[in-house]
Amino acid sequence: MAQATLTISSKNYSSWSLRGWLLCKMAGLEFEETHVDLHDTDMRQELLLLSPTVRVPRLTHGDVQVWDVTAIAGYLNEMFPKAGLYPKERVARAHCRAISGEMHAGFHNLRSALPMNLRAKHDSFKIFSGARPDVARVVEIWKQCLDTYGGPFLFGTPTMADAMYAPVCTRFRTYSVTLEPQLEAYIDTILAWEPMAEWITAALEEPEEIEELEVEF
Ligand SMILES: N[C@@H](CCC(=O)N[C@@H](CS)C(=O)NCC(=O)O)C(=O)O
């Protein structure tokens, strides 16, 4: 099998790195991790040579270079069709792609108001009014999936959609966004999921802090 390297940044702060990394783990890809500090100018220049967007994650697999989480998911699904990154059934597969696309392209207010920070815990966090419709939409998406497919993951077994929404689960816990029991149980499932638990352990041990994301609320 071709050699694979996934370029990521901080495990504490980088939600897109987490999504790409979960997809590689779910696919069963054996890969090495390369970490870049996106605030380091030399590293940014190096990354520019690898990933024209200067963004992570970015996957090298043999002679294939692929960046952007949706493209990485599509590639891994082609290479590892048995891994179940997308649901087997056509209607569910379309649904999975649609909600994954929603996360990929939207939820800007949620992302900026509640940045991922696994080491932080804010007990009385007031959600900015602009982010509340995003929270409501996440609730709607999760409820529809769990009611339709029966849980414990959004489409029963882990799929790309769980990788896309995993950082939202951590944000809801970081900023004490409490939801109804069915949705709290989904968050528990994600946080206890083996690859997720591995990522969280590493994030908690990571030394670097990004000052502007360590704000006091
Ligand atoms: N849509 C992109 C998003 C990637 C992205 O925004 N990554 C962030 C890290 S979480 C990044 O590399 N940011 C670089 C920077 O802010 O300098 C994807 O799917 O991969």
**Geometric angle at alpha carbon 60, from 104 and 89, rounded to 5°:** 50
Residue 27's pLDDT is 98
Q: Whose CA is nearest to atom 10 of ligand 1?
A: 14
If one compares 38 and 138, the residue with the highest pLDDT of the two is 138
- 39 pLDDT higher than 80: no
Whether 103 maps to a domain, the answer reads: yes
If asked whether residues 29 and 97 sit together in one domain, one would say no
pLDDT of residue 54: 74
What integer pLDDT is reported at residue 24 of this predicted model?
A: 98
Which CA distances in Å does 51 have to 20, 65, 78? 14, 8, 21
Distance 55 CA to ligand 1 centre (A): 4
Residue 216 counted as domain residue? no
Q: So what's the pLDDT on residue 53?
A: 73
Under the banding of pLDDT at 50, 70 and 90, the label for residue 51 is low
Q: What percent of the chain has pLDDT over 70?
A: 91
State if residue 122 touches ligand 1 by the CB under 6 angstroms criterion.
no
Pair 99, 195 in one domain: yes
User: Do 161 and 65 lie in a common domain?
Assistant: no
User: What is the residue range of 15's domain?
Assistant: 4-83
Q: Say how far apart CA 158 and CA 126 lie, in whole Å.
A: 31
The whole-model pTM stands at 0.93
Cα of 46 vs centre of ligand 1, distance in Å, is 15
Question: Does residue 40 surpass a pLDDT of 80?
Answer: no
| CB 134 near ligand 1, within 6 Å | no
Q: Which of 83, 98, 125 is the last residue of a domain?
A: 83
Q: Please tell me whether residues 109 and 53 are part of one structural domain.
A: no
Query: Comparing C-alpha atoms, which of 198, 182, 170, 109 is closest to residue 140?
Result: 182
- In a domain, residue 40? The reply is yes
Burial of 3 (0-12, 13-18, 19+ CB in 10 A): exposed
Do 50 and 9 touch, CB atoms closer than 8 A?
Answer: no
Q: What is the pLDDT of residues 148-206, one digit of tens each?
A: 999 999 999 999 999 999 999 999 999 999 999 999 999 999 999 999 999 999 999 99
Domain count of the fold of the chain: 2
Q: Average pLDDT in the 40-50 region?
A: 69
Do 129 and 113 have their domain in common?
yes
**CA separation, residue 83 to residues 64, 73, 76, 77 (Å):** 19, 11, 9, 7
- Give a yes or no: residue 208 inside a domain: no
- CATH at residue 141: 1.20.1050.10
Residue ending a domain, choose from 83, 109, 139: 83
Query: What was the pLDDT predicted at 214?
Result: 66
Q: Considering the domain boundaries, does residue 48 fall inside one?
A: yes
- With cut-offs at 50, 70 and 90, classify the pLDDT of residue 47: low
Ligand 1, residue 58: give the atom nearest the CA.
20
pLDDT at 217 over 50: no
Task: Confirm whether 213 is domain-assigned.
Answer: no
Q: Of ligand 1's atoms, which has the minimum distance to the CA of residue 20?
A: 20
- The verdict on 104 and 143 lying in the same domain is yes
Q: Do 150 and 156 meet the contact criterion of CB atoms below 8 Å apart? A: yes
If you measure from the C-alpha of residue 56 to the centroid of ligand 1, how many angstroms do you get, rounded to a whole number?
5
Does residue 102 carry a pLDDT above 70?
yes
pLDDT at 117: 96
> Is there a single domain that holds both residue 122 and residue 35?
no
In a domain, 76, yes or no: yes
pLDDT over threshold 50, residue 15: yes
Residue 38 beta carbon below 6 angstroms from any ligand 1 atom: yes
- Closest Cα to atom 11 of ligand 1: 55
110 lies in the same domain as 184 = yes
Q: Is there a single domain that holds both residue 75 and residue 104?
A: no
Rounded to a whole number of angstroms, the distance between the first and last alpha carbons of the chain is: 48
Ligand 1 centroid, distance to 16 Cα (angstroms): 6
Question: 97 and 126, same structural domain?
Answer: yes
| Atom number in ligand 1 closest to CA 67 | 20
CATH of the domain at 64: 3.40.30.10
Last residue in a domain, options 46, 62, 83: 83
